[in-house]
Amino acid sequence: MKYRIILFLILGIDAAILLFETSSLSISYRESMILYEEFSFLSFLANISIYFFGTNDFALRLPMIILHLLSAMLLYKISKEYVQKEKIRLWLVFVFVLLPGVVSSAIILNNAGFIIFGLLLFVYIYKNFSIKFTYFLLTIYALVAGEFVYLFLALSIYAIYKKEKNFFIFNIVTFFISIFLYEIDTGGRPQGHFLDAIGVYSAIFTPIVFIYLFYILYRRYLTKDVEILWFITAVPFLLSLVLSFRQRIELEAFAPYLILALVLAAQTFYHSYRVRLKMFRTKYRITFMISLAFLILNTLVVFFNKELYPYLSKPRNHFAYNMHVAKELATELKNRGIECVDTEYKMASRLRFYGVTNCNTYRLTQVSKIVKNKDIVTISYKNIPVYNAYVTKINTN
């Protein structure tokens, strides 16, 4: 009972922090495209939330936060088969909610958070219900998101390994259907983005965690200790590295698969720790504490990212710049009695969410430096100007 209380305490604090963080972010251009232009399951979820809670950042991000919390609970459930000790499973959930990539997927409207939830749900259904429920779920996945194509590929290879003919036929068919429906492109010429991919993976998981996950996958391959979770993780990960040699890949579609390796990592780490005498466990404790410290530090950077602006020579170099400015800009324009502007299309799409529409009455033009004798709008964080623009009224006579 006490472990369930601790679990809900972790998730409750996590949810409270994420909900608080929504107030510091603006809608990005990519999110506005999902909301207004795309016909997708994610767009449907966001619009349903906005319908009930109004057009605001809380409603925009609430579906992702809910999916994130459900993912954490599914991870806790799934891990029981791999790690019986509940204390270790709680540590696993704690590490999961601290991962920089997971934190980002929990508050940003993109497919990463949805794919993480979908993968965990699949594993849970596959291991706890009859195969007909698995087929039904995979059919839905084939219709709602192209990123699940790598799941179908992994399951096809797993079916070959297990010599399950029907499971192979179903997954290879859904694999090709997904490629056709979503026009997934794997072409290109060698451009050398391999190191970029490694760097992004390291940023998503932190370097220590990423290296350990890679080690776990490799070690289990050598020892032939592979099962469905290994295939779901390893196949998309290896495919992403191979593709990175010839093209820049969208790791948003691949990184969620590697997150499932956390379960295997927890199992291996705990087993290695348990079989050793107490006097030889120190290095494992130190490694874990260092990894945890890096995770906490990275999470703090994500949550308090605006504190970085004073240390940057160019505000646009900030990793979260595309999710700043728009909300404050809309508020400032409304304070000046301006409800619509003509501006570049990306900012116009973002301002639309905050009630500033497109028109030919005023023109909003971003400038790199403040220009004299112009009606300047300046957005600052920590007393550092990060956006300057002037607004001019267009003479329609």
Residue 368 has pLDDT above 60, yes or no: yes
Residue 48 has pLDDT above 80, yes or no: yes
| Closest CA relative to residue 75, chosen from 13, 138, 121 | 121
Mean of pLDDT values over 315-341:
91
Read off the pLDDT of residues 241-284 as tens digits, 9 standing for 90 and up: 998 887 778 888 899 999 999 999 999 888 887 777 677 778 88
Mean of pLDDT values over 306-312:
90
Residue 187: predicted pLDDT? 54
Mean pLDDT of the chain: 90
Residue 224: predicted pLDDT? 87
Residue 392: predicted pLDDT? 86
Read off the pLDDT of residues 4-21 as tens digits, 9 standing for 90 and up: 899 999 999 999 999 999
Residue 186 has pLDDT above 80, yes or no: no
Cα separations in angstroms, 298 against 101, 196, 305, 314: 10, 19, 10, 21
Residue 90: predicted pLDDT? 94
Per residue, the 3-state secondary structure of the chain, as one string, reads: CHHHHHHHHHHHHHHHHHHHHHHHCCCCHHHHHHHHCCCCHHHHHHHHHHHHHCCCHHHHHHHHHHHHHHHHHHHHHHHHHCCCCHHHHHHHHHHHHHCHHHHHHHHCCCHHHHHHHHHHHHHHHHHHCCHHHHHHHHHHHHHHCHHHHHHHHHHHHHHHHHCCHHHHHHHHHHHHHHHHHHCCCCCCCCCCCHHHHHHHHHHHHCHHHHHHHHHHHHHHHHCCCCCHHHHHHHHHHHHHHHHHCCCCCCCCCCHHHHHCHHHHHHHHHHHHHHCCCHHHCHHHHHHHHHHHHHHHHHHHHHHCHHHHHHHCCCHHHCCCHHHCCHHHHHHHHHHCCCCEEECCHHHHHHHHHCCCEEEEEEEEEECCCCCCCCCEEEEEECCEEEEEEEEEECCCC
Domain boundaries, the chain: 2-303, 321-393
Read off the pLDDT of residues 159-175 as tens digits, 9 standing for 90 and up: 999 999 999 999 999 99
Read off the pLDDT of residues 75-101 as tens digits, 9 standing for 90 and up: 999 999 999 889 999 999 999 999 999
Residue 371 has pLDDT above 80, yes or no: no
Mean of pLDDT values over 202-227:
92
pTM above 0.75, yes or no: yes
pLDDT > 90 in the chain, percent = 62
**Rounded distance between C-alpha atoms, residue 392 and residue 397, angstroms:** 15
Read off the pLDDT of residues 353-364 as tens digits, 9 standing for 90 and up: 999 999 888 899
**Rounded distance between C-alpha atoms, residue 360 and residue 94, angstroms:** 51
**Rounded distance between C-alpha atoms, residue 21 and residue 156, angstroms:** 40
| Closest CA relative to residue 391, chosen from 353, 337, 352 | 337
Residue 148: predicted pLDDT? 94
Residue 252: predicted pLDDT? 83
